[in-house]
């Protein structure tokens, strides 16, 4: 569904409709609260009229004073109940919208997630979703209640004397004109403010993520021009937004309460002409003062109304993105062999894969190698359904992956990338994410089989050691081994290692490769490796170059038949020899 095909009200109704009972009750109590707030004005009018009549009974005045006080208390009681109900419903809506967004992210193609900075997504998930609160919690019940009571009070004034009612309304169009002046460019300026703050969020996340480089090259927040410019633009957009609205808003707030400017002279002339009774005049004065309070409250919400379209558009820009198209019903999968038939894929108009044909038998070990940027990782991501192929088909067990529900496919494939993420939880819980129901013993067994139990036990807290944000408390190699343990615990029939040992040293990589070879017996393993020595025993090595299959076969066969592979192997051996020579010389110097 296109983002613009639905209006703001439609989206808000979808968000709020599961809790409409709470909002209706909130509106009822808000209306009662505003109505109770009007009763004291009626009481004051009766007291003034009684004084003019010469009423001397203290009980009369005591009754009306008690009624005014009682209804004033009820006003705040009903307002509190209304606010409690609306906020209870609204915070439930905010929670549900956030859950919708996070679930939506799992169904979106990787292309969208790569194109959208994490700071922007964080801004939408946190700030923008929170910004829905004033509209649902305040505008819906309180604005509705104030409008209803204001309309009822004005109807009563018209019943008393239509001329005085019109006199009381004289400031209203002037105030509305001021608001129209404010709202003329409000949405545009607020949208600019939102955009500039999104950019600031994006760059702030980038700044924090790159702080090591910034410090290493003696950069600071003030000298890091990109961050400084974004901060200044965000501040300028806020000032521009406020500067364009405050004069109109202040004028409107001065005009609305000025009912006596019109009511007093008009009422005086009508009274002096004999066409307006004094009691009607006095009641009109008092009620006109009372009716402006609810109207001013109503108008004060135009600020939130002006923001809501931009806010909802930000949130729904994610929700309205097209999902990876997958069925809901479980698919029948006959085995775990993988087939790619004439698969092509382009990213931002750049062709990455072009006519890939590949058969990966179930239970085999297939390695993808080739020059950087050739399309190896893209093939792995397409098999794991992180993206959809532009053309051609990918099947598992004879079933097209696009006909397999994501939940079913995710249970079949364990994908370990070069930069797998660790959460700010204990190492034990990070591994357990591979199988949430796993016992502590099963978690530790997976760690042993993946070759990371020993280094975990050397940590101060062992398995209870916190990994830190994004696994920052661990080295790159340690993070990779934890993610491999997580994938092994998942026990999926298809395992994809996308340069998953890139950060490990050769000794540890050999340990991991030995562990993986034991764990994947009877499973389908796809390996993308930058060290060719680790994949020489693969059943099939596929050489990918410029988005095509340049050659495939066993290691020995490719050394004979593929010039590209032989050159890669020679370069790999040369690099290993150079490292060994440098290590030996370093050791001699140390000795």
Residue-level pLDDT at 58: 85
pLDDT tens figures, 490-537: 888 888 887 766 556 656 666 666 666 666 777 888 888 777 777 888
Count CA atoms within 13 Å of residue 126 on its CB side.
8
What pLDDT sits at residue 497? 83
pLDDT tens-place string over residues 440-454 = 888 888 888 777 888
pTM recorded for the entire structure:
0.65
pLDDT digits (tens, 9 = 90+) for 92-103: 988 888 888 888
% of the chain at pLDDT higher than 90? 5
What was the pLDDT predicted at 184? Answer: 67
Alpha helices in 301-335 (DSSP H): 302-319
Taking residues 279-287, report their average pLDDT: 84
Per-residue model confidence (pLDDT) at position 584? 47
* Residue 121 pLDDT greater than 60, yes or no: yes
Alpha-carbon distances of 484 from 477, 489, 567, rounded to whole Å = 11, 9, 30
Q: What is the mean pLDDT of residues 413-423?
A: 77
With H, G, I as helix, E, B as strand and everything else as coil, classify residue 398. coil
Cβ(483)–Cβ(515) under 8 Å?
A: no
Q: Give the C-alpha distances (Å, rounded to integers) separating 489 from 38, 447, 524.
A: 67, 9, 15
| Confidence at residue 591, expressed as pLDDT on a 0 to 100 scale | 45
Orientation of helix 302-319 relative to helix 171-183, angle to 10°: 30
How much is the pLDDT for 73? Answer: 93
Q: Which of 1-5, 475-479, 523-527 has the highest mean pLDDT?
A: 523-527
pLDDT at 81 over 90: yes
From 235-239, 367-371, 576-580, the region with the lowest mean pLDDT:
576-580
First to last CA, the chain: 69
Comparing CA positions, the residue from 99, 171, 88 lying closest to residue 137 is 88
Q: Is 246 exposed, middle or buried (0-12, 13-18, 19+ CB in 10 A)?
A: exposed
Mean pLDDT value across residues 113-125? 76
Which pLDDT belongs to residue 289?
A: 79
pLDDT in tens, 565-585: 888 888 877 765 554 454 444
Average pLDDT on 268-280 reads 87
Q: Which residues contact 322 (CB under 8 A, 6 or more apart)?
A: 1
Per-residue pLDDT at 213: 60
Where are any strands of DSSP class E within 444-514?
Answer: 494-498
Quickly list DSSP for 391-408. Answer: EEEEEETTEEGGGS-HHH
Percent of the chain exceeding pLDDT 70 equals 86
Contact 319, 105 (CB under 8 A): no
pLDDT the model gives residue 568: 84
Question: Which residues face 552 on adjacent strands?
Answer: 542
pLDDT in tens, 6-37: 677 788 888 888 888 898 999 899 899 988 98
Residue that has been written with the tokens 């809901």 in this structure: 328
């Amino acid at each position: 569904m296109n983002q613009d095909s639905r209006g703001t009200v439609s989206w808000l109704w979808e968000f709020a409709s599961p809790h409409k009972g709470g909002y209706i009750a909130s509106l009822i109590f808000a209306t009662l609260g505003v109505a109770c707030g009007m009763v004291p004005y009626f009481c004051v009018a009766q007291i003034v009229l009684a004084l003019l009549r010469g009423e001397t009974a203290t009980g009369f005045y005591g009754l009306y004073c008690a009624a005014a006080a009682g209804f004033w208390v009820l006003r705040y009681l009903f307002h509190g109940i209304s606010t409690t109900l609306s906020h209870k419903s609204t915070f439930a809506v905010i929670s549900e919208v956030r859950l919708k967004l996070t679930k939506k992210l799992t169904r979106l193609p990787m292309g969208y997630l790569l194109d959208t900075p994490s700071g922007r997504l964080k801004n939408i998930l946190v700030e923008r979703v929170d910004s829905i609160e004033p509209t649902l919690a305040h505008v819906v019940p309180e604005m509705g209640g104030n409008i209803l009571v204001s309309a009822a009070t004005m109807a009563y004034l018209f019943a008393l004397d239509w001329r005085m009612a019109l006199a009381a309304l004289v400031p209203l169009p002037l105030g509305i004109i001021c608001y129209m002046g404010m709202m003329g460019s409000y949405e545009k300026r607020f949208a600019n403010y939102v955009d500039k703050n999104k950019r600031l969020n994006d760059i702030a996340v980038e700044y924090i993520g790159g702080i090591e480089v910034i410090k290493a090259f003696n950069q600071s927040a003030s000298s890091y021009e990109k961050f400084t410019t974004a901060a200044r633009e965000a501040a300028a957009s806020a000032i521009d937004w406020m500067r364009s609205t405050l004069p109109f808003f202040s004028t409107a707030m001065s005009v609305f309460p000025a009912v006596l400017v019109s009511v007093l002279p008009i009422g005086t002339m009508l009274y002096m002409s004999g066409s307006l009774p004094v009691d009607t005049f006095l009641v009109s004065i008092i009620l006109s003062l009372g009716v402006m309070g609810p109207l001013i409250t109503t108008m004060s919400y135009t600020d939130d109304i002006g923001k809501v379209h931009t806010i909802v558009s930000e949130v729904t820009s994610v929700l309205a993105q097209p999902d990876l198209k997958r069925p809901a019903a479980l698919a029948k999968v006959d085995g775990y062999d993988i087939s790619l038939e004439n698969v092509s894929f382009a990213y931002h108009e750049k062709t990455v894969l072009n006519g890939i044909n590949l058969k990966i038998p179930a239970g085999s070990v297939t390695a993808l190698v080739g020059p950087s940027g050739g399309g190896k990782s893209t093939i792995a991501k397409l098999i794991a359904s992180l993206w959809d192929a532009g053309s051609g088909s990918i099947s598992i067990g004879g079933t097209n992956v696009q006909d397999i529900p994501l939940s079913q496919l995710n249970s079949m494939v364990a994908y370990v990338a070069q930069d797998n993420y660790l959460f700010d939880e204990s190492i034990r819980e990070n591994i357990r994410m591979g199988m949430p129901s796993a016992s502590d013993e099963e978690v530790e067994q997976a760690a042993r089989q993946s070759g990371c139990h020993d280094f975990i036990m050397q940590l101060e807290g062992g398995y209870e050691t916190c990994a830190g944000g994004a696994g920052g408390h661990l080295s790159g190699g340690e993070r990779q081994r934890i993610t491999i343990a997580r994938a092994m615990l998942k026990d999926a029939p298809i395992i994809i290692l996308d340069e998953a040992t890139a950060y490990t040293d050769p000794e540890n990589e050999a340990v991991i490769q030995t562990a993986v070879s034991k764990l994947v017996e009877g499973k389908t393993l796809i390996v993308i490796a930058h060290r060719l020595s680790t994949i020489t025993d693969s059943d099939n090595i596929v050489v990918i170059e410029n988005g095509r299959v340049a050659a495939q076969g066993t290691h020995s066969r490719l050394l004979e038949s593929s010039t590209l592979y032989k050159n890669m192997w020679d370069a790999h051996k040369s690099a290993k020899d150079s490292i060994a020579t440098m290590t030996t010389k370093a050791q001699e110097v140390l000795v």
